[in-house]
């Protein structure tokens, strides 16, 4: 049986205009969506128009016609939400997170009443569920619905809140969080107040209705009350939020927000450079203070000290050290020095974890810091997270089998060769796009995929892999498949069997037919099927290589560390109930 269908953990996240300041801010929404995907949720992302866009579109409408009808205004204003949804879909694609954009028209979200302030009545929830089972993420424009004559209508100002709650109710009262630029509902406006005023940890529907309607749409609150639907209101990457429901009310005094954490980068190439770019959009949370590179003359990052000495930067005492250099010996020493200096470490380096993972974990534990390496397996394909999530379940089952495409470069090469490139051209293009290792023979020879199997075995507590069987990808190996069956594709498949004893593993070239989970996996994508001792299987898809998918995964580890730090601070602050 498939865990993809069996798992009912769904969260509806609503991104309001206050967090969608511009097209680039949609990247913050990607981080939030990926955070929940890592935790094993299927995500429905409801988006508002970008900040100010609805007003601009309505003003445009009124500049054309003074007495414009609600219907006509709806068809213009809807463009704001449809654009945000489309661009978020593109941002998710760039980050390698599978998703599909569904519109209110395509999901038959029907509403009736005033076309500018309509009330939703029904939706084809099965279409959303099917898309969630298939992709994991559905992006849905808020605020907009269609009437019985298939015309666009709007759900009133702030109506994306209502869209989100309506979807959550239609999906069986799924978890729902409205994401705003505040940590929740406060007793009074927290703007500019230090420390902030008491925040509602729990608020009643009436508490929410007592606000002026600019934070939550009142119509949405009344809808939630009518469906006995509790929901959450909070900020991006938050550890605390307000839960709004039947109550009772519970206020807490929280500490002032922490100062930004410092990050040192070891490596500023494909991965390190992408991580810098993403982190630089969050100066309130993190500050990159130093970066180590080989050739200092080729690098300049605004506000960052550049050094040619990776070991010195590693030991410089940053809160978090990100290792993205590649290789084994220098990264190993650098990670050791960083952990010894009390820094948390995030690395994308599967070779060093495959070879020295247990030793590095022991050192991290002895220093009370964390060693995270999600990006080392599958870029933005959350394979290690899926293993950790199952391990955290009561009576956790054992991982018995892994079968997957774990190397983006070889899959990209196979795709390009299938479309007419020569083998050498395809490899050069994989290098140009930043998929390949510094030494691409590690990709082609199966060693990179084997490193990832070793990291998986470590994460699942399966022990070491001895005597793996490797079939390198080469022109000659491909020639052996010239007469493969019709309707098959060639894949370089990594496998691991751990039914009993020490795990057996290998990487082999094979012809895969259309019914196989590995068939539909083009370009540099990765697909991994995990089988468990309780008979469940779990197929995980995403992008396996390249700057943005890999950086997304590294940033997700960094944001996890920020949340953990924040949670520890909040716990030591002894937040007492104040009402």
Query: Cα–Cα distance between 351 and 339 in angstroms, integer?
Result: 18
- Name, in order, each residue with C-beta under 8 angstroms of 56's C-beta and a sequence gap of 6 or more: none
Contact 224, 205 (CB under 8 A): yes
Q: How far is the CB of 271 from ligand NDP (least distance, A)?
A: 3
383 touches ligand NDP (CB under 6 A): no
Question: Given the rule CB under 6 A, which residues bind ligand HSE?
Answer: 379, 407-409, 435-437, 443, 448, 544-545
Q: Which does 298 bind (CB under 5 to 8 A by kind): ligand NDP, ligand HSE, none?
A: ligand NDP
Smaller CB separation from ligand HSE, 184 or 379: 379
330 touches ligand NDP (CB under 6 A): yes
Q: How far is the CB of 543 from ligand NDP (least distance, A)?
A: 9
Both tokens of 94, joined, read 């760039």
Among 89, 196, 326, 357, binds ligand NDP (CB under 6 A): 326
The catalytically annotated residue of 14, 452, 504, 525 is 452
550 touches ligand NDP (CB under 6 A): yes
Q: Which does 503 bind (CB under 5 to 8 A by kind): ligand NDP, ligand HSE, none?
A: none
Among 144, 185, 455, 545, binds ligand NDP (CB under 6 A): 545
Contact 466, 505 (CB under 8 A): no
Contact 376, 323 (CB under 8 A): no
Beta bridge partners of 265: 291, 322
430 touches ligand NDP (CB under 6 A): no
3-state secondary structure 254-301: CCCCCCCEEEEEECCCHHHHHHHHHHCCCCCCEEEEEEECCCHHHCCC
Alpha-carbon separation of residue 364 from 27, 171, 228, 337, 344 (angstroms): 31, 42, 45, 11, 8
Smaller CB separation from ligand NDP, 179 or 271: 271
Footprint of ligand NDP on residues 258-287 (CB under 6 A)? 267-272
Q: Which does 343 bind (CB under 5 to 8 A by kind): ligand HSE, ligand NDP, none?
A: none
Query: Cα–Cα distance between 408 and 399 in angstroms, integer?
Result: 23
Q: Tell which residue, 322, 274, 270, has the closest CA to residue 430.
A: 270
Q: Tell which residue, 296, 301, 332, has the closest CA to residue 314.
A: 332
Both tokens of 232, joined, read 């959450």
Question: Does the annotation mark 452 as catalytic?
Answer: yes
Q: How far is the CB of 27 from ligand NDP (least distance, A)?
A: 18
Smaller CB separation from ligand NDP, 155 or 291: 291
Which span sits near ligand NDP by CB under 6 A: 111-119, 243-251, 412-420, 431-439? 431-439
Alpha-carbon separation of residue 194 from 190, 200, 295 (angstroms): 8, 17, 44
Query: Cα–Cα distance between 156 and 523 in angstroms, integer?
Result: 43
Smaller CB separation from ligand NDP, 200 or 373: 373
Query: Cα–Cα distance between 140 and 153 in angstroms, integer?
Result: 15
50 touches ligand NDP (CB under 6 A): no
324 touches ligand NDP (CB under 6 A): yes
Q: Which does 380 bind (CB under 5 to 8 A by kind): ligand NDP, ligand HSE, none?
A: none
Smaller CB separation from ligand HSE, 177 or 442: 442
Q: Which does 434 bind (CB under 5 to 8 A by kind): ligand NDP, ligand HSE, none?
A: ligand NDP
Known catalytic residues are 452
- Site of interaction with ligand NDP (CB under 6 A): 267-272, 292-295, 298, 310, 324-326, 330, 348-349, 375, 379, 434-435, 437-438, 545-546, 550
């Amino acid at each position: 049986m498939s865990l993809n269908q069996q798992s009912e953990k769904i969260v509806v996240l609503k991104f309001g205009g206050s967090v969608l300041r511009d097209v680039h801010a949609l990247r913050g929404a990607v981080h939030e969506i990926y955070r929940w995907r890592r935790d094993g949720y299927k995500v429905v992302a409801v988006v508002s128009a970008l900040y100010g866009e609805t007003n601009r579109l309505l003003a445009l409408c009124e500049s054309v016609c003074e007495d414009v009808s609600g219907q006509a205004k709806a068809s213009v204003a809807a463009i704001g939400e449809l654009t945000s949804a489309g661009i978020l879909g593109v941002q998710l694609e760039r980050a390698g997170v599978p998703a599909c954009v569904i519109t209110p028209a395509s999901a038959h979200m029907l509403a009736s009443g005033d076309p500018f302030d309509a009330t939703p009545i029904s939706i084809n929830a099965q279409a959303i569920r099917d898309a969630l089972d298939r992709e994991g993420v559905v992006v849905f424009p808020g605020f907009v619905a269609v009437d019985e004559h298939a015309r666009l209508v709007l759900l009133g100002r702030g109506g994306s809140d209502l869209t989100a709650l309506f979807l959550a109710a239609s999906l069986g009262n799924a978890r729902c969080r409205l994401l705003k630029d505040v940590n929740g509902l406060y007793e009074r406006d927290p703007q500019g107040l230090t420390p902030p005023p008491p925040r509602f940890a729990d608020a009643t529907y009436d508490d929410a209705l007592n606000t002026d309607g600019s934070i939550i749409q009142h119509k949405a609150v009344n809808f939630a009350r009518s469906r006995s639907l509790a929901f959450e209101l909070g900020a991006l990457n938050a550890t605390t939020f307000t839960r709004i429901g039947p109550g009772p009310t519970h206020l807490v005094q929280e500490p002032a927000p922490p100062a930004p954490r410092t990050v040192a980068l070891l490596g500023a190439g494909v991965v390190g450079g992408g991580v810098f770019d993403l982190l630089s959009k969050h100066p309130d949370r993190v500050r990159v203070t130093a970066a180590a590179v080989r050739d200092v003359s080729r690098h300049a990052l605004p506000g960052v000290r550049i050094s040619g000495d990776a070991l010195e930067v590693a030991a410089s005492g940053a809160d978090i050290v990100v290792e993205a250099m590649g290789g084994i010996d220098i990264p190993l020493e650098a990670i050791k020095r960083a952990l010894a200096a009390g820094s948390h470490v995030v690395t994308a380096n599967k070779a060093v974890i495959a070879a020295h993972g247990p030793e590095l974990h022991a050192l991290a534990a002895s220093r009370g810091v964390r060693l995270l390496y999600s990006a080392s397996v599958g870029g933005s394909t959350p394979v290690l997270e899926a293993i950790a999530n199952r391990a955290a379940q009561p009576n956790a089952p054992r991982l018995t089998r892994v079968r997957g495409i774990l190397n983006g470069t070889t899959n990209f090469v196979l795709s390009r060769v299938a479309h007419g490139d020569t083998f050498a051209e395809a490899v050069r293009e994989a290098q140009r796009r930043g998929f390949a290792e510094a030494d691409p023979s590690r990709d082609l020879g199966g060693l990179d995929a084997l490193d990832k199997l070793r990291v998986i075995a470590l994460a699942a507590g399966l022990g070491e892999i001895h005597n793996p069987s490797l079939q390198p990808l080469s022109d000659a190996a491909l020639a052996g498949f010239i007469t493969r069956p019709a309707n098959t594709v060639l894949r370089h498949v990594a496998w691991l069997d751990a039914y009993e004893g020490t795990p057996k593993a290998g990487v082999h070239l094979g012809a895969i037919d259309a019914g196989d989970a590995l068939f539909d996996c083009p370009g540099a994508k990765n697909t991994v099927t995990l089988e468990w001792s309780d008979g469940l299987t779990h197929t995980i898809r995403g992008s396996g290589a390249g700057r943005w998918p890999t950086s997304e995964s590294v940033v997700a580890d960094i944001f996890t560390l920020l949340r953990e730090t924040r949670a520890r601070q909040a716990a030591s602050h002894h937040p007492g109930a104040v009402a």
